[in-house]
Amino acid sequence: MVAPGQGGLKLARRRDRLGAPLTWLCGGALAVNLVLVAGLIGLIGVRGFGHFWQAPIVALTLDDGTRVLGEPWGVEEIPESAGATRTRIKTGNRDVTGRDFVWIDDAKLRLREEPADAVVIERREWGNFYGTPVELRHDGQEVARGPARVLDSLAAAHASALAEFDAIWALEQGEMASLNRRLEELRLAERRLALGGSGAAERAQRQQRIEQRRAAVEREYQGLASQVADRRQALGADVLVVRTIAGDMREIPVAEIVRLVPANRLGPGGRIRLYLERLREFVGGEPRESNTEGGVFPAIFGTVLMVVVLSLVVAPLGVLAALYLREYAREGAFVRVVRIAVSNLAGVPSIVFGVFGLGFFVYTIGGTIDELFFPEALPTPTFGTGGILWASLTLAVLTVPVVIVATEEGLAAVPRALREGSLALGATKFETVWHVVLPAAAPGLMTGLILAMARAAGEVAPLMIVGMVKLAPALPIDGQFPFFHPERKFMHLGFHIYDVGFQSPNVEAAEPLVFATALLLVLIVSLMNMVAIVLRNRLRERYSTSAV
Amino acid sequence: MSVPAALARLRRRRRADRAAGWLVRAGGAAIVLSIFGILGFIVVQVLPLFRPARVELALSIGTATGQPRGLLSDPWAEHVVEVDGDGRLSVVRVDDGARVAEASPLGAGVRPTAVALARARDEVALGTADGRVAIAVVSFEAHFAAGVRRVRPRIEVVESVVALPGASVGALSLQSLASGRLLAAASPAGDVVLLRLVREENAFTGEVISRVERQNLAATGEVVRLELDDAGRRLYGVRHDQALVWWALDAPDAAPAHVVEAGGRGAITALAMLVGGRSLLVGRASGAVEVWFEATRDGQPQLLRARVFDLFDAPVAALAPSRRHKAAVAASVDGDLALFHSTSERTLWRGHAAVRGAPALVMAPRGDAFFVASSADVDLFSIDAPHPELSLGALFGRVWYEGYPKPAFVWQSSSGTDDFEPKLSLVPLLLGTIKGTLYSLLIAVPLAVLSAMYVAQFMAPEVRRLVKPLIEIMAAMPSVVLGFLAGLWLAPRVAAILPAFVLAVVLVPVGSVAAGAGWEALPARWRRHLPRGTEVVFFVIGVLAAARLGFDLGPWFETTAFGGDLTGWLAGTLGLPYDQRNAVVVGVAMGFAVIPIIFAIAEDAFENVPSNLVSASLALGANRWQTVTRVVFPTASPGIFSAVMVGFGRAVGETMIVLMATGNTPILEWNPFNGFRTLSANIAVEIPEAPQGGTLYRVLFLAALALFVLTFTVNTAAELVRGRLRRRYASL
């Protein structure tokens, strides 16, 4: 209570003195939030985009004469030392030394060079190799010697080896895989025959036919397999001999090389080209080395496909439910309760939906489908295990409240006058809803849909239960009939982050790739959310003047 | 258009309208209801956990062998083997009561003085008055003939040894191990002897060598009952004065007997081992069954009485443990029966069998049936108890698990072996959930509420429009990304920056106040020319400078306050061991996830405080801050409350951050510097391995149900509070 007079004014002033700093404290809290957001995005951005940048290769000579070749990978203070620092060097050569990184005590460093001949070789297996090219051999015969010449002649050999490697891969993934599938189909047909109730004579006859076909397919398969083996053998003829900094010689088959980068000879243009090439490989390429290297294309594909399937399910359901709640149901206690419940359902933890999806979609529905339509494959489940369809449906259940709420908001924002005008012109209720209200509320639906898609793209916990795998052998869409395989397992960007970051044997080496994946995911999700925010704001503004 | 045609068209449109209306109503209602079907489905999955056991008399067959001294069952409960008082083994087919095999291992006319059964391998040992022991094996071979499965039982006498030369075998126990058989025998004179009947096969010649290793065990009086554990590591016995004695057979020296004083609890009338070979069941004349096991207490291994089941009024006559669960059937001399489970301390079922004389019992190997036999007949009871190991006590109370010195809250759902005792206490998980939520709210609530207040009350609208989407982007950050950063980037650095972090908690507020003061100190002329919102830049600079200062002073602070080693200081002085992935890391990461949620609702509540209230307050001479604390905050406080509730709901169910940024160890500690396991992370970790329909599966569904109900309730409460607030605003 502020008493009148001098004392009261003083009191008020004293409170005022306290007031301003407390206001500033609130400002500080906001600043902390902004710093956190900016810092987080900055961290992911720098680390994620930095992943593709080729740093120069350094050769370090230490006090005791040991030499180390690799890329500098950050400096830190040595714990419990007075300001001494150490540098982490990515030395690669996992197959030689058994590890990817070494720590170099900066105080013990005697010499630091950037040898021009040093190259980094990205390999299909064993990670990067750091060293100097010595010789290129074909069938044990020297083709070129000395770093410069080797690099020159390698280009052509590498290109042809890559083409051949891709051809073999295509053969394996294409014809051989399809033969394999036919063998599996024959096995299932045999099982079906054993389960089915046909007569003994007919059964024997069919069994014979299956045997014949199987023999033919197996013959064909053997032919292809030996052909592939021969071509593999031939592919191994080109060998690059390299020397590690310690002086050890190593032979690397040219076909095993993904990319050879003479890092210290690259000009700025070369570096940028390399950067873009790596970026393209990351977005469009297949993963290597149990996902810790190479691209994330299958994960992107899986995420996008899942989101598309989800939106096909969620959009009609959400619209129908919202129309019912807003336009058709009689406003009352029931609708109010339902509305609150639906909006709160969006706050139920996603893992709960995962558990539901596992119990309901995978085990109950999937298990029933298996029993009815795929008894011959049991006990191996077809639909009775996690797959892209179940994952999409689980996330659809998870996100349908989001769509319902947003669509309802959109419907509510349509002014009454618009509806009344349409009705007054003689349109039926449905015609009004369909031709007038819904189009006007479309931004609301779109907002909800995009929010749902963004949530689904970033959600991992329920998917861990209902359908994701580390490494899916085949995409859910391919050239095999019926082209879309809803029962297949798939890869997902978010799960990729969890898996590579926490389950892979070599987390340290994989960390940069995880940052890049995280960046990609954050970009996708943020972009979708921003579009949704803009749409929603536009919707709010559109009717803010005309509404009551 | 002619009039009839127009009318027809009108009718068509009306029909279409009506049809569409029904379609939308039916479809919409179905969707809304099926969303709630989720809850129903989860409940249906959970309910069987609490279904009472059903035990029914399946059939009853007559016996003619007289009083049985022991029973065995084949794996399918299709045959029962009776061992009668004359030392005869007879296999009876359950279907028709036919005796399909018979043998007298001791020879005709020799009555056994002691009988022991090794149920895991269907072996019977019979001891005689002259110290001899014969061992017989019953095997059940299943074979298919013309699509029909037939079981052919066979009885084979495999060993006959002299266990106690010149003395009568008074007590006997047999255990069959991979390395051979183990036989313990006691004489009325007080000798206890352990025989290892070792069978070794020469790897080259295939020749089988049998040899008997004999070990005399020290006893202090006559031992009237003996029981070997499954692994042959312990031998338990009952002395004539009803004291429990036990020998550690795996100890290096000649195993002295440990004696547990009887304590006047009455005579011991039955002994049996639960599956796993750690819990000893002791049946008393008082009708009680006690569960004893060994645990280390005060640095000594001791046999402890963990729990007591008061089952009957009459003495316990027989005990038959299950081979699947820590459950057993007990029978009294009057024929009263009880099925109980040790871990859950549940007496699952009580019943009665019409028996004459002391009954013998055996549980079928699959645990789905048991036989009761007396001189009159053999009864087969079927058991339907899918989740006997669960009770509310096992889920939420302290449970005394095997090998533990005292009751404890433990979550340890599975291990490599079948005879493992599942420990399904939800308490460590609930505590972990609360711990994670608490630490994240500690970080999120002040930051979110204060900044919401600033944005809503002190910020120019055009700046507000720029800041709010930034925080909304924060909300969209996938939790897997936050978890990854927390687990891989932040966690290894926290130990190093902890002193700086502690300093920053103090310095950042100081820095922001200093920044505000700096802004105020600028001449009003300058401030007018700067674009609106520049003060935010000042605050950011102030906060960054404070954080920087904290980092620079961190090493000094660590040296002066904590002796240069904060983690060591925490462990040494406060007794808080430090884990790399700890609750502080989770608090920061989950706080980041929760801030935008609290912010959005709190900002809404602050912003919608009716402007006439604010104007009135200002007009009465209150300054901006007074208005905010005295008018705005009290008015909006239900909204703040609701914001915190929703934030709580989000933090409770968050899975990925916790999964990735803690060690996921289900421990019971509030220490902010070690890990924990939440309900949600536990589901994610364990449900892929949980067999469908099993106890663990259903318990995880129960955890999901708990999360569902908790968050739904909290969110609904928050929504109701907000609704009331909106109505109040509208009326003001």
pLDDT tens digits for A439-455?
Answer: 888 888 888 888 888 88
Residue B83 pLDDT exceeds 70: yes
Contact: A355, B458; criterion CB under 8 Å = no
How many Cβ atoms sit within 10 Å of the Cβ of residue B76? 16
* CA B682 – CA B537 distance, rounded (Å): 43
Residue B202: partners with Cβ closer than 8 Å, 6 or more residues away: B208, B209
* CA B321 – CA B365 distance, rounded (Å): 10
Nearest to B687 among A29, A44, A355 (CB): A355
What is the mean pLDDT of the segment spanning B375-390?
85
Residue A82 pLDDT exceeds 70: no
Q: How confident is the model at residue B707 (pLDDT cuts 50, 70, 90)?
A: very high
Contact: A19, B623; criterion CB under 8 Å = yes
Q: Which of A337, A344, A360, A459 to mutate to test the interface with B (most CBs of B within 10 A)?
A: A344
% residues pLDDT > 90 (chain B): 17
% residues pLDDT > 70 (chain A): 91
By C-alpha distance, the chain A residue nearest B680 is A351
Contact: A18, B625; criterion CB under 8 Å = yes
Q: Which residues of A touch B467 (CB under 8 A)?
A: 30, 34
pLDDT of A95 reads: 81
B454 interfaces chain A, CB cutoff of 8 Å:
yes
Q: Which of B442, B455, B446 is nearest to B606 (CA)?
A: B455
- With b for 16 or more beta-carbon neighbours within 10 A and e for fewer, the A8-38 pattern comes to eeeebeebeeebbbbbbbbbbbbbbbbbbbe
Residue A396: partners with Cβ closer than 8 Å, 6 or more residues away: A310, A313, A314, A317
Our CA angle for B93, B99, B105, nearest 5°, is 115
Contact: A324, B29; criterion CB under 8 Å = yes
Please tell me whether residue B280 adopts helix, strand or coil conformation: strand
What is the mean pLDDT of the segment spanning B688-713?
89
Contact: B24, A507; criterion CB under 8 Å = no
pLDDT tens digits for B452-473?
Answer: 988 888 888 888 888 888 887 8
Q: Which residues of B touch A50 (CB under 8 A)?
A: none
pLDDT tens digits for A206-221?
Answer: 888 888 888 888 888 8
B625 interfaces chain A, CB cutoff of 8 Å:
yes
Per DSSP (E only), the strands in B375-421 are 377-384, 411-412
Contact: B509, A19; criterion CB under 8 Å = no
By C-alpha distance, the chain B residue nearest A20 is B625
B20 interfaces chain A, CB cutoff of 8 Å:
yes
pLDDT of A528 reads: 86
B215 interfaces chain A, CB cutoff of 8 Å:
no
pLDDT of A2 reads: 41
Q: Which of B34, B445, B481, B720 to mutate to test the interface with A (most CBs of A within 10 A)?
A: B481
Shortest distance between the Cα of B666 and any Cα of chain A, in A, equals 18
Q: Which residues of B touch A43 (CB under 8 A)?
A: 485, 489
Shortest distance between the Cα of A304 and any Cα of chain B, in A, equals 16
B515 interfaces chain A, CB cutoff of 8 Å:
yes
How many Cβ atoms sit within 10 Å of the Cβ of residue A86? 20
How many Cβ atoms sit within 10 Å of the Cβ of residue A205? 12
Summary mean pLDDT of chain B: 85
Instruction: Sort A259 into a burial class: Cβ within 10 Å, 0-12 / 13-18 / 19+.
Output: middle
B660 interfaces chain A, CB cutoff of 8 Å:
yes
| The residue to which tokens 């243009």 are assigned | A269
pLDDT of B262 reads: 61
pLDDT tens digits for B149-182?
Answer: 788 888 888 888 888 888 888 889 998 887 788 8
Tokens matching residue B37: 């079907």
Partners of residue B258 on adjacent β-strands: B246
Contact: B454, A79; criterion CB under 8 Å = no
Q: Which residues of A touch B646 (CB under 8 A)?
A: 347
This model's pTM is above 0.95: no
Peptide bond into A482 cis (omega under 30): yes
Q: How confident is the model at residue A548 (pLDDT cuts 50, 70, 90)?
A: very low
Q: How confident is the model at residue B64 (pLDDT cuts 50, 70, 90)?
A: low
Q: Which of A75, A81, A317, A324 to mutate to test the interface with B (most CBs of B within 10 A)?
A: A324
Q: Which of A352, A423, A451, A515 to mutate to test the interface with B (most CBs of B within 10 A)?
A: A352
Give the CB-side neighbour count of residue B374, counting CA atoms within 13 A.
Answer: 17
ipTM at complex level: 0.86
CB pairs under 8 A between A and B: 321
* CA B81 – CA B351 distance, rounded (Å): 23
Q: Which residues of B touch A328 (CB under 8 A)?
A: 21, 24-25, 28
pLDDT tens digits for B222-237?
Answer: 888 899 988 888 889 8
Instruction: Give long-range contacts, CB 8 A cutoff, 24+ apart: B111-115.
Output: B111/B85, B111/B86, B111/B87, B112/B69, B112/B85, B112/B87, B113/B168, B113/B169, B113/B170, B114/B169, B114/B170, B114/B171, B114/B172, B114/B185, B115/B69, B115/B70, B115/B83, B115/B172
Shortest distance between the Cα of B689 and any Cα of chain A, in A, equals 10
Q: How confident is the model at residue B375 (pLDDT cuts 50, 70, 90)?
A: confident
Shortest distance between the Cα of A23 and any Cα of chain B, in A, equals 7
| The residue to which tokens 């045999």 are assigned | A190
For the domain made up of B427-688+708-731, give the CATH fold.
MetI-like fold (1.10.3720)
Residue B200 pLDDT exceeds 80: no
Domain-by-domain residue ranges, chain B? 427-688+708-731
Q: How confident is the model at residue A1 (pLDDT cuts 50, 70, 90)?
A: very low
How many Cβ atoms sit within 10 Å of the Cβ of residue A162? 15
Residue A480 pLDDT exceeds 70: no
By C-alpha distance, the chain B residue nearest A525 is B476
pLDDT tens digits for B325-350?
Answer: 889 999 998 888 999 999 888 899 99
pLDDT of A43 reads: 92
B112 interfaces chain A, CB cutoff of 8 Å:
no
Provide φ and ψ at B465, rounded to 5°: -65, -25
Q: Which of B31, B544, B549 to mutate to test the interface with A (most CBs of A within 10 A)?
A: B31
* CA B52 – CA B47 distance, rounded (Å): 11
pLDDT tens digits for B8-44?
Answer: 988 898 898 899 889 888 888 888 788 778 899 999 9
How many Cβ atoms sit within 10 Å of the Cβ of residue B180? 19
Residue B133: partners with Cβ closer than 8 Å, 6 or more residues away: B125, B126, B127, B159, B160, B161, B162, B163, B169, B172, B183, B185, B195
Peptide bond into B153 cis (omega under 30): no
